[in-house]
Structures are given as C-alpha cells and as structure tokens.
Amino acid sequence: MSRIFNFSAGPSILPESVLLKAQQELLDWHGTGMSVMEMSHRGKEFISIAEELKNDLIDLLNIPDNYKVLFLQGGATGQFAAIPQNILRGKDSACYVNTGAWSTKAIKEAKNHCNVTVSADAKASNFTDIPSYAGWDVDQNAAYLHYTANETIHGVEFQDIPDFGDIPLVCDMSSNILSRTVDISKFGIIYAGSQKNMGPAGVTVVIVRDDLIGQADSKIASVFDYNQQAKNDSMLNTPATYNWYLVGLVLKWVKDSGGVAAMEQQNQIKADTLYKAIEQSSLYSNPVKNTVRSRMNVPFVLADSELDAEFLKLATKSGLTTLKGHRSVGGMRASIYNAMPVEGVNALVSFMAEFEKTHA
C-alpha cells in the first residue's frame, strides 16, 4: 500500500490512524458483531458513539454550557438558508461581510430570507484582503453579523474575532474549525461542514447559543430547525450514523495529538514553511496580503501559467496530488488541514524548489 500527500480542499486528507481504526472496526464494532453502519441510531451502542462525539467536541473547543451542539445534514450550504430562517427573530435584516466565494454564496442565499446589508466587501481587492474593522458598516438593529472565518478558495483567513458589541456574531468555520483555538463565547453561531478538519463529508456541526433558539420561521423545514433538532439530540431524522462515528474518530485523534492548541502550533509551522518557500522564489507568488493569509488553504500562481500542467503532472508523479487551484482563481492551491503532516508540506516545498530549478 502506498499513500500519497493529498492537498485537496475537501473532502480532504484524513489521519491514517483514523482510517486504520475504521478498517479494524469495520465488521465488528467493540465486540457487537456489527458494523457501525448497521446499527440502529436508537440503540445503546450508537447512542454511546453519539454522546462521545458531542462530549469530545465540547471538550476540544471548550464550548460553554449555554450553547447547543448539533450534528446536521445539508452541509454549510444548507446553513446559508437555515441561519436566517432560525435567527431573524422577527427582524427583517442581517449584516454580512463579503471576503470571498463562500461569503458571496452565503449572502446570495440569505437574500431569499431577509434584507442583507453588506457591511464590508473585499471584492475590489479581488478577495486578497479583509477590509479593516473600522470601516465596517454594521447595523446594530440587524438580527446578526455573518462572516467566513476562512475563505477556502481565496486563501484569506481572519486572524482574530471581529468585535461589534451585542449583535450576534455568526461564523462559517467550515475550513478552519479545530485548526486554532477560539473563544466560543464570542459567537452566536458557529457552523462548519465536516469534510476538511473533522472527517469525511456528510456532517454539519452547528454550535448555537441558547438565546438564539426557539424563534424560527414557522415555515422552516423541521430538520433545519435548531430548536427541534436540539430537543431530539440531532436525531429528528435518521442521522448520517457512520459519518458521525468517523468524525468521532477524528476528534479522538485531535485529542490524542494534544488538542486544538497543538494543532494550531503545527499548522503555524506548516503554513510558515510553505509561505516562506513562495516568498523566496521567483517562480511562485501568492496574491493575498500577508496579514490575512490562510493557514489552511494556500493558493499560489506560477509566473508562467504555461507551466501549470507540467507542474501538476510532475507533482502527481511525486505523490503530491490535488494541487490545482479552484477554477475561479486558477493556479495552484495547497490545502494543509490538520491531518496534513509536516512531512507532506516539506515534500511539497522540496518539489517546488526542484521544479523551479529545472523549469524557471
């Protein structure tokens, strides 16, 4: 068996030990003679898996008691609609910050449900910067303020948490949850799809403060209603049981690796290594302002785009895959989530240097 270094933006690389554990337990979970896939979600075996999953996430993120932790379906995209439907609370507007492709999508979907004030917009910079907080136009009467903590496509990441007083802060953390420590108490809602730092695709984590629950739009689909899901332990309908189990294994791996602070330390080292290699080269460049560069998704372009195909071909041959940038921005993108080992980044940097030497 040979494993490659997979730089995919999501679904993405998983810790090898998690895959091996899943393989070991595939046919017989803990002596039950059943695969987790075959278990009733109401049975005591699966209930124990679900409880551990939730408790481990609470531990890892230090989630205060006044928050509900939900595991839903429909992806972060489902939440783009579910958020206004759940928390407008009789108001008719919400504030959004536009820092890239994912916030643009969130805004588009929100507009089906309320008036949207775009409090700050980085479009003019081609999404290579985050507008400074001083210039944000935040309406304190709006229902909430939404932003995307890490723009997976543009490689732009908030390095701190915006503070705009009492307006509930809603954050899409799909591509950087568990990668750095955050103070959950600053947020009204945090949501994230699982397929980057938490496991395979198929689980959407929603962490929502209690006071925001219980006033959903009466026409909301029940599966998206935070109150109904919270009352049913996220099992209002049949959950994606096997995916919950796999996310649970990834959370155990994060714990065993030293927790979120240890992940953050390692992510900083990986990102520094890769950005430094880009800075020092005359072939590669990254357009993002260095104070807002993402630790998770590192886009870069080659000075001569004619070399792109050759770069990708030789990288794949060297066991470094899925480096093609998103079609909307072109070039390359290396996603270096928690599960990407330092050796993967070192291998990429060595490959890039060698390619530059032979092709520049």
* CB-based contact 87:138 (threshold 8 Å): no
Give me the least distance between CB of 137 and ligand PLP, in Å please. 23
Give me the least distance between CB of 345 and ligand PLP, in Å please. 20
Query: Per CB under 6 A, which of residues 222..281 are in contact with ligand PLP?
Result: none
Binding string, 173-192, against ligand PLP, x = CB under 6 A?
-xx-----------------
Whether 253 sits among the annotated catalytic residues: the reply is no
Whether 196 sits among the annotated catalytic residues: the reply is yes
Number of residues that bind ligand PLP (CB under 6 A): 11
Query: Per CB under 6 A, which of residues 102..121 are in contact with ligand PLP?
Result: 102
Regarding 10 and contact with ligand PLP (CB under 6 A), the answer is yes
Binding string, 85-104, against ligand PLP, x = CB under 6 A?
-----------------x--
Give me the least distance between CB of 102 and ligand PLP, in Å please. 4
Which one, of 63, 296, 9, lies nearest residue 182 by Cα?
63
Give me the least distance between CB of 157 and ligand PLP, in Å please. 10
Q: Which amino acid would we find at residue 41?
A: H
Regarding 172 and contact with ligand PLP (CB under 6 A), the answer is yes
User: Given strand 284-285, what is the order of strands in its sheet?
Assistant: 284-285, 297-302, 332-335
CA 243 remoteness from chain centre? 16
Give me the least distance between CB of 16 and ligand PLP, in Å please. 23
Is the torsion defined by CA of 140, 84, 175, 280 positive or negative?
negative
Per annotation, catalytic residue among 29, 56, 102, 121: 102
Question: Among residues 152, 197, 241, 243, which is the contact residue for ligand PLP, using CB under 6 A?
Answer: 152
Whether 102 sits among the annotated catalytic residues: the reply is yes
Residues that bind ligand PLP (CB under 6 A): 10, 75-77, 102, 148, 152, 172, 174-175, 193
- Hey, which residues are catalytic here? 102, 172, 196
